[in-house]
Structure 1
Amino acid sequence: MKNISLITGGAGGMGLASAKIIGKDHYLILCDLNQDRLRKAQQELAELDIESETLICDVSDQRSVEEAIVYAAGKGHLASVIHTAGVSPQMGKADLIMKINALGTIYITEAFLKLAKPESVLINIASMAGYLIPSLILPKRGYKYAFNDQATFFKKMMSRVNLFPKKQRAGLSYSISKNFVSWYSKKSAAQFGAKGARILSISPGSFDTDMGRLEEKSGSAAMLGMAAIKRFGKPEEIAELIAFMASTKQGYTTGIDIPCDGGVTAGYSAKAMKKALANKKH
């Protein structure tokens, strides 16, 4: 039976970089909303002798997600789901960001959990932004509704975001949604463990992808002022981490978030942030 890996956001960036490694010993199903980008990604993988197929999937649509997961599971042993699909502050309004990043993660997690088998793994992509937001801003009391009342969960998340000026809402929605992703992945570990499966999240910092470069406008480059390694990360670097954590070599690692940010969160402080933003202006 084939080992299958479904990768959301698989048409580019971290998703495609991960596919180039995971695809060496897995049959790939690449998911995205853009068929043209998916075709290009599939061709790029074919040139590396990596077998894949493509699937249109809207992670903010529960039915679309469920259909994608069921389809992938029908192709063989669904060994891993790598959930890289998401949007950043420059890519949409606050409500869209919350729907895709937070609700999308819930939909992916729930759908995969139903079909999870021993040694299968789900990796959700969070962000260092989830670490940098002040804890007083986080609506953590509302996170629990993700498990039984997603409409209430979404309302509580957006109620907090909408307390702030419009120009700040997209960034806040992104940070809150990504903080939630790491929290939710940890809280879901026991359910996955009951099936012999794993779940974890990875929090990237500033990476040299289309999305990462787009977010220079939101201050991602300024974050390098607080980093120990003062450069953008390479997609291949985080792809290696994703692939390793998705492998059976790491069968005892679950319920954690792994920052991969060049040391930004290690060097973060309000003073360091103020200095980094001041240097950006100059």
Structure 2
Amino acid sequence: MSAPRPAAPAHGTVLVSGGASGIGAACVRRLAPAAGTTVVADTDRDRAGLLVDELRSQGLSITAESLDVRDPDAVAALYRRLAAEHPPVTLLVNSAGISGPRRPLDAYPPEDFDAVVRTGLHGTFHMMRGALPAMRARGGGVVVNIASVAGARAVRGFGPYAAAKHAVIGLTRTAAREYAEYGIRVVSVSPGHIDTPMLGALPAGTAGRLAREVPAGRLGRPEEVADLVAFLGSEQARYITGSDHPVDGGWLG
């Protein structure tokens, strides 16, 4: 009896922005086995390269692209390269983002405000704008935007981050309505307090305090966010679009 044929990949190309570390890297690891090709787009090319080496050693097709999502010309150039070199992007995960310093609004430097919003909101827009025309032309695709519980509840000291994530959820819902007729689904995932380098960069003791605020009694793991992203990007979620999905251990309540 011949050996069973391997299952066809669920996706052509999976593109993950901010995919070199944290939640983005967890999504890359989770999604790559079901992809024809996975593209890690990040400003940290060295860290992205390490992730690519790790997954290539497992026989997976994956590549890294140096990308600043704040630059619309760079994003457009990336999509041109992908169109020439890879199968169509059928799943886009927008994970690039920065939290910025923790300060009250009246003390927030305008340049830091701009950096947070341009990365988390403008970057998500640029990535979606680049992916949607090809998805529409081929009759389908999925976009998963990584938002935050800060997009649903105020977080003191992180006004720009909360503003950007509120806007990402609004952008997600609008795009879902605009593109559903073309077979494109657009959803967002809102992580709570997740054990990532972004959380680790906060002052000492912050992680422990945040964990105590979570009804589940612990920080979340990036892999737990990635599991939901994988489900939302799959055919099992084919009737889910325009919605936001918290992964927060009950923090929003």
Same fold (TM > 0.5): yes
Q: Is the 8 A contact 1:127 1:202 kept in 2?
A: yes
- RMSD of aligned Cα (Å): 2.2
Alignment equivalent of 1:185, drawn from 162, 167, 172? 172
Per-residue CA deviations over 1:106-149 (Å, capped at 9, x if unaligned) read 11121111211333101111011111118xxxxxxxxxxxxxxx
Which residue in the other structure is 1:276 paired with?
Answer: none
| CA–CA distance in structure 1, aligned partners of residues 59 and 233 of structure 2 | 21
Which residue in the other structure is 2:25 paired with?
Answer: 16
AA partner of residue 186 (structure 1): R
Alignment equivalent of 2:89, drawn from 72, 78, 85? 78
| CA–CA distance in structure 2, aligned partners of residues 231 and 216 of structure 1 | 18
Which residue in the other structure is 1:87 paired with?
Answer: 98
Write 1 or 2 for the structure with the bigger share of helix. Answer: 1
Distance 1:120 1:73, change over 3 A: farther
Which residue in the other structure is 1:65 paired with?
Answer: 75
Q: Is the 8 A contact 2:210 2:219 kept in 1?
A: no
AA partner of residue 181 (structure 2): A
| CA–CA distance in structure 2, aligned partners of residues 28 and 34 of structure 1 | 17
Say whether residues 1:46 and 2:56 are aligned partners.
Answer: yes
AA partner of residue 118 (structure 1): G
AA partner of residue 78 (structure 1): V
Say whether residues 1:3 and 2:24 are aligned partners.
Answer: no
Say whether residues 1:231 and 2:250 are aligned partners.
Answer: no
Say whether residues 1:247 and 2:234 are aligned partners.
Answer: yes
Ranges in structure 2 where 5+ consecutive residues have no aligned partner: 1-8, 103-110
| CA–CA distance in structure 2, aligned partners of residues 132 and 17 of structure 1 | 25
The SS at the match of 1:253 is: coil
Correspondence 1:104-119 to 2 at 5 A = 104-116=123-135, 117-119=138-140
Runs of 4+ in 1 over 2 A off after TM superposition: 69-74, 89-92, 215-226
| CA–CA distance in structure 2, aligned partners of residues 219 and 89 of structure 1 | 15
- Length-normalised TM-score, structure 1: 0.76
Which residue in the other structure is 1:148 paired with?
Answer: none
| CA–CA distance in structure 2, aligned partners of residues 118 and 261 of structure 1 | 33
| CA–CA distance in structure 1, aligned partners of residues 131 and 231 of structure 2 | 20
Ranges in structure 1 where 5+ consecutive residues have no aligned partner: 135-166, 267-282
The SS at the match of 2:93 is: strand
Distance 1:231 1:45, change over 3 A: same
| CA–CA distance in structure 1, aligned partners of residues 168 and 19 of structure 2 | 19
Distance 1:215 1:132, change over 3 A: farther
Q: Is the 8 A contact 1:224 1:264 kept in 2?
A: no
Q: CA deviation at 1:17?
A: 1.1
Distance 1:188 1:20, change over 3 A: same
Which residue in the other structure is 2:243 paired with?
Answer: 256
- Length-normalised TM-score, structure 2: 0.84
Give the percent of matched residue pairs that are identical in Structure 1 and Structure 2.
27
| CA–CA distance in structure 2, aligned partners of residues 256 and 73 of structure 1 | 29
Q: CA deviation at 1:69?
A: 2.6
